[in-house]
Amino acid sequence: MKVLVIDDSKTARAVVVHSLAPLGCTVLQAGDGAEGLEIMRGAKPDLVISDAHMPNVDGMTMLTLKARDPQVAGIPVIMLTAVADQDFVLQCLKRGAKAYVVKPFEKKTLVMKVCKVLRIEPPAPAEAQVRAHGPLVLAVDRDEKQLSALMEFLLNGCELLTALDLRPALRIARERRPDAVWLDVSEPAEQVRGFVETLRGEGLQHWAALVNRGAPVPPVALELHLGAVLPKPFIRVEVREFAARHLGVFQRFLSREGNAVVMSVPGDPQVRRKEWQPALEGQIRSGLQRAASDGAGRLVVDLTSVAAPADLHLVAGLVDVLEMAHQTNLDLILAVGDPDLVLSFSAYQDLKGTRCVRGLREALAISAPPAEARPAA
């Protein structure tokens, strides 16, 4: 199955590509309607997903030109639009679109629309869509391109809900109960105040302000004590560092003991697969980098909660940890409670030679600075 994605934003295309991953389809990409029509004529995709508003040939014009070309007229189109206006949506449908999705969207919404248009079964929610999510964050901003960028930057870190203004954001917050809200505070102060106070009254306590880079923090954000500030336009490294600080994702697995960083590996294999392993590339990596810059010298991986033997997800994660330790110049020690677990590592070439000790206490004793280097009591 081939799907063509047309959007002038590379970030927006990346979000769509990632959303379609559970379907296992081949995804082609175009930057505007004219390029999209050329690809349609050559590749004959099964479906087109197109942004409505683009430079050069926009989505509406593309629909008109497509309908006049017998080579591509029969290819179904799903239109992506930031405009939820009924008249605009009707115009899209009249020009041949089979369905529409309002941006920014949740990935499962797009997948369900694609399955409905193509008349295929949606992927099973188990193995086809397993992906670890940390905290659930609601981001509210009128700039859909910034929300799309934020969605891409947080793919490995947490689950992101988005809203373009405060009214749908209030509904989403009440339905999904996010762990945190990241709010554009350039909206009218009275509306921001009412939104924050309403949800705080309903128990939502974790907030951050989205502020234009270089601009002062609006007084309403200070008044409401929205002390955590994330500047726009978003930068990938900053977003992940901010998520690590504000959401404390990596802190679930990392702690500091003297000159050692301790990574706790959960004993439950489902938690390892759904939370620990996917978090490695995001907040855990940034946490290790920050600890190394703060003077840490050793990384102790605490495996004492893991029962033998090692499974594939555990070993794959440890190989990633091994690479992270190398990149951050941290000495790596595995603290294990069951000797059979060590034996099960021997089958994996990438982990051979990794130092293993019995128990966390022994590992931390190795990580401590030499006695002569410690200040006198």
Q: pLDDT digits over 305-357, tens only?
A: 888 788 888 888 899 899 999 999 999 999 888 878 888 887 777 887 788 88
**251 CB burial (10 A radius; 0-12, 13-18, 19+):** middle
pLDDT band per the 50, 70, 90 thresholds, residue 283: low
pLDDT reported for residue 117: 93
Which segment of 137-151, 207-221, 279-293 scores lowest on mean pLDDT? 279-293
* Alpha-carbon distances, residue 5 vs 14, 192, 331, 342 (angstroms): 9, 35, 45, 47
pLDDT number for residue 338: 81
For domain 2-118, give its CATH number from 3.40.50.2300, 3.10.20.30, 3.40.50.280, 3.40.980.10.
Answer: 3.40.50.2300
Residue ranges per structural domain of the chain: 2-118, 131-247, 250-373
For residue 204, pLDDT beyond 50: yes
CB distance 52 to 79 below 8 Å:
yes
Topology classification of domain 250-373 = Transcription Regulator spoIIAA (3.30.750)
DSSP 105: -
Q: What is the pLDDT of residues 98-119, one digit of tens each?
A: 998 887 777 788 998 999 999 9
Tally of CB atoms within 10 A around 131 = 14
Helix (H) / strand (E) element for 220: namely helix 219-223
Which range, of 114-128, 154-168, 260-274, averages the lowest pLDDT?
114-128
Name the average pLDDT for the chain.
84
Amino acid occupying residue 134: G
Provide the pLDDT for residue 124.
Answer: 63
Task: Please give the sequence-ordered ranges of beta strands (E in DSSP) within the chain, or none if there are none.
Answer: 2-6, 26-30, 47-51, 77-81, 99-102, 136-140, 159-163, 180-184, 207-212, 229-232, 254-257, 260-264, 298-302, 331-336, 355-358
For residue 314, count CB atoms less than 10 angstroms from its CB and return exposed for 0-12, middle for 13-18, buried for 19 or more. buried
**Least confident segment among 177-181, 244-248, 303-307, 312-316:** 244-248
Q: Is the pLDDT of residue 235 over 80?
A: yes
- Can you identify the CATH homologous superfamily of domain 131-247? Response regulator (3.40.50.2300)
Handedness of CA 143, 149, 153, 159 (dihedral sign): positive
Arithmetic mean of pLDDT, 158-184: 89
Judged by average pLDDT, the poorest of 65-69, 84-88, 95-99 is 84-88
Examine domains 2-118 and 131-247 and report if their fold is the same: yes
Radius of gyration of the chain (CA): 25
CA distance from start to end of the chain: 70
